Structure 1
Amino acid sequence: MASDMPKLAPGATRKRNVFDVIEALQKQSAKTILVRVDFNVPMNSDGKITDDSRIRGALPTIKAVVNAKCNAVLVSHMGRPKLVQKAADDEETRQQRHELSLKPVADHLAKLLDQEVLFGDDCLHAQSTIRELPAEGGGVCLLENLRFYKEEEKNGEDFRKTLASYADGYVNDAFGTSHRAHASVAGVPALLPKEVCGIGCLVASELAYLDFKNASSDEQIAAIIGGSKVSTKLPVIEGLLKNVQTLVLQGGLAFTFLKAQGIKIGDSLVEDSMIDTAKDLLKQADSMGKTIILPVDAVCSQSFPKGPMDKADTKTFELNTDAGIDDGWMGLDIGPKSVKIIADGLAKATKIVVNGPAGVFEVPPFDEGTRGLVDAIESLTKNGTVSVVGGGDSVAALEAFGKTEAVSYVSTGGGATLELLAGDILPGVAAIADYD
């Protein structure tokens, strides 16, 4: 059964998965699997789902359970319902409960699966709903928003015991929350036998593409990291230096490294408190024989744009110790020379991971650097390079450029992606006993 899982990247270590869990339960004549999914989807004011990609991402795991004639009890969170957790009964709280209910998700999932999806409106008293699932298996039910209960985020003992009591086995297919040690993520699998706990198809794919600890020595891995601050991406940069051969630093954080090299950056974003750290990281990379690529030119403006800007109002500066950005100008994108140098630096990579755009891609003409890199990565992907894009801004850039199909894989995680890139073991994966 395990052969039905997504193909793993070279060197990736296999973990116990949904098919292993199904096989173990069938030997026990057991049928019910609690599946942690991530249905935290955006909705409009009319309660209509505006992007169902996270729901669709869980379909392979749900269908695997249903097709094996097991019942799937799905649990998820939606938003941050702090008012509901206080158990007040005022109008504002009732409105939040309505807005963050998973009932519309259950209805939408039923259409995608073309079968009935039962809805349990109380995670603490869901037994009656679960008993309605077919005795022969193949049924699906979705319980109400886990975060309506403060015990979920606190990994409360009674709450996790209640969730565990609803099923014979457990599967985690919520990669986006796997970095949280919550009751439904880390608490439930700790209460069930290890042979009936595993990861779903989505989590398996994420680990295969993003977990570098067991990468083959033949792999040439390159990472492109953007973002505004070095301080927020520091663990990622430090972790990646251990596992990649080439590290591209771009976006706002690149200017801290450029200033650390004595290059003038004008009024560009900089963290002066991180200058020494940047110097240390550059020395560390050099001593490890790793290549760090920084921008060599920047497209600049004299003010942060509130909307599209005429290209004539921008200026491109060379970034070296003999030049640099003039005072009164700020770098908002990488220039064409940087795009070429980065593309050339990626040419020999067997895998490329991107987290963070090159500039303010939302505002033309400062989208050209990110667009140029996406085109370069698309070309490399067509020639066999494995390309992975993660992080909200990077994924948004792909969507804005109509290029979501141009890369090998688009990660669904935010914080989970960053922690995995940093080399951390995610609580939601560590809870599955076979993880190493």
Structure 2
Amino acid sequence: MAWKTLDDMDLNGKRVLVRVDINVPMADGKVTDATRIERIVPTITDIRAKGGKPILLAHFGRPKGKHVPEMSLQPLVPTLEQAFGAPVTFVERPDGDSLAALPADAIVLVENTRFTPMEEANDPQMAGFLASLGDIYCNDAFSAAHRAHASTEGVAHHLPSCAGRLMQAELEALEGALGQPVRPVVAVVGGAKVSTKLELLGNLVAKVDHLVIGGGMANTFLAAQGIDVGKSLCEHHMTDTAVEILAKAKAAGCEIVLPADVVVAAEFAAGAANEVVANDACPADKMILDAGPTAVARIGEILDSAKTLIWNGPLGAFEIEPFDTATNAAAQKAATLSKAGQLISVAGGGDTVAALNQAGAAADFTYISTAGGAFLEWMEGKTLPGVAALEG
């Protein structure tokens, strides 16, 4: 690949600017979920082991270019110190001289980069100022890589740059899934709306062998084939687009897999009375809330023959029982195959991570991206500014 990693850099005695994502949930001034902080530990540990001084750049919340005291990064210091097993020096207004004067093994946290409008504007002056604080730039925030900001893109043009361990793992997983995948490749795409995933579907049909469509999106594709979906969630105005996607898939040799049978109910409620019917037999007063057992078996067959899986979105209304059945079954199947070394599985997106965790399948997937928007834009085939800036 065209970008460098920490292994390609001489960090000894160098100040290393590290763009991280520590935008963690907080309550009463305390971190309630430290997952994002824990994921940057390998990068910080490696930089220090190689004699570098990590200077952390990060945003928190959406202060919209103003100084918002409630969005200061200072309250994160205790959690960072606990994760790193070392003191962290918080600096509100950094300058190169004072950072250089800190001990060689110091870890520095700079105040919220978004406290100035220059950050999101990718102002050249701010990029130059940030560059003056360090000798090397390391981006470890893939989740912010789809934004061209001063701390994610601008600064990379001023300093020798590389990817951190988390960014490296993310890029290698995604490149393995979509760049040079081991075939056959299956994509599972679910969720409520076709309209929010148009570019994703358009890109995937040209790259994968099987595209499994679930959730409310599947209803729109069924309706596009003239099937009555009753009271189901369905974007009837998108049926022409669904027809175009079906045609594009056929031309590309990609099989689009829609549920042959579905689970229907009169109401969207936990434990609601439900039945399994053929996909063209949804009663007018009911709604489709999950894929049926025949559909799940078909997905299982496809996964059995696949080598690579990309997953984004649930197959049904996974939030409530029993409409989580298809998602859970398919996720557990993928997890079993991944654990056995038969499948490379990459998943991402908020609902997806929640669904795979609920299914107890997340731990056995090859890679789970927590990068939301950046993960989706990568899957859509877009160039991510923060990644492009590391190339060269």
TM-score, structure 1 normalization: 0.86
Name the counterpart of 1:138: 105
Distance 1:335 1:248 in 2: 14
Name the counterpart of 2:38: 56
Calculate the aligned-residue CA RMSD, in Å: 1.7
Distance 1:66 1:72 in 2: 7
Q: Which runs of 4+ in 1 moved over 3 A?
A: 125-129
Match among 217, 231, 255 for residue 195 of structure 2:
231
Name the counterpart of 1:190: 157
Name the counterpart of 2:207: 243
Name the counterpart of 1:3: none
Name the counterpart of 1:309: 271
- The CA deviation at 1:167 is 0.4
Change (3 A) 1:97 1:317: farther
- The CA deviation at 1:219 is 2.6
Name the counterpart of 2:69: 97
Name the counterpart of 1:8: none
Distance 1:243 1:367 in 2: 28
Match among 234, 244, 248 for residue 270 of structure 1:
234
Name the counterpart of 2:167: 203
Contact 2:21 2:36 in 1 (8 A): yes
Q: How do 1:318-337 and structure 2 match up within 5 A?
A: 318-319=278-279, 323-337=280-294
For structure 2, the 5+ residue unaligned runs are none
SS of residue in 2 equivalent to 1:359: coil
Distance 2:26 2:19 in 1: 20
Name the counterpart of 1:345: 302
Contact 1:213 1:423 in 2 (8 A): no
Name the counterpart of 2:179: 214
- The CA deviation at 1:309 is 2.3
Distance 2:377 2:256 in 1: 21
Q: Residue type matched to 1:182 in 2? A: H
Change (3 A) 1:128 1:276: same
Distance 1:339 1:207 in 2: 30
Contact 1:68 1:138 in 2 (8 A): no
TM-score, structure 2 normalization: 0.95
Counting aligned pairs with the same residue, the percent is 40
Deviations 1:215-241 (A, max 9, x none): 05x532111011111111111111112
Name the counterpart of 1:6: none
Contact 1:318 1:325 in 2 (8 A): yes
SS of residue in 1 equivalent to 2:305: coil
Distance 1:348 1:168 in 2: 49
Contact 2:20 2:57 in 1 (8 A): yes
For structure 1, the 5+ residue unaligned runs are 1-12, 88-95
Contact 1:120 1:143 in 2 (8 A): yes
Contact 1:120 1:129 in 2 (8 A): no
Name the counterpart of 2:379: 421
Contact 2:353 2:370 in 1 (8 A): no
Match among 41, 48, 51 for residue 24 of structure 2:
41
Deviations 1:188-214 (A, max 9, x none): 00122xxx2011111111111113553
SS of residue in 1 equivalent to 2:357: helix
Name the counterpart of 2:388: 430
Distance 1:128 1:101 in 2: 23
Contact 2:265 2:286 in 1 (8 A): yes
Distance 1:191 1:178 in 2: 17
Distance 2:126 2:258 in 1: 49
Q: How do 1:153-168 and structure 2 match up within 5 A?
A: 153-168=120-135
Match among 75, 86, 90 for residue 57 of structure 2:
75
Name the counterpart of 2:144: 177
Deviations 1:334-365 (A, max 9, x none): 12111111111121111111110111211111
Q: Residue type matched to 1:37 in 2? A: V
Contact 1:73 1:140 in 2 (8 A): yes
Distance 2:33 2:144 in 1: 18
Change (3 A) 1:213 1:251: closer
Change (3 A) 1:399 1:239: same
Q: Residue type matched to 2:102 in 1? A: L
Change (3 A) 1:184 1:101: same
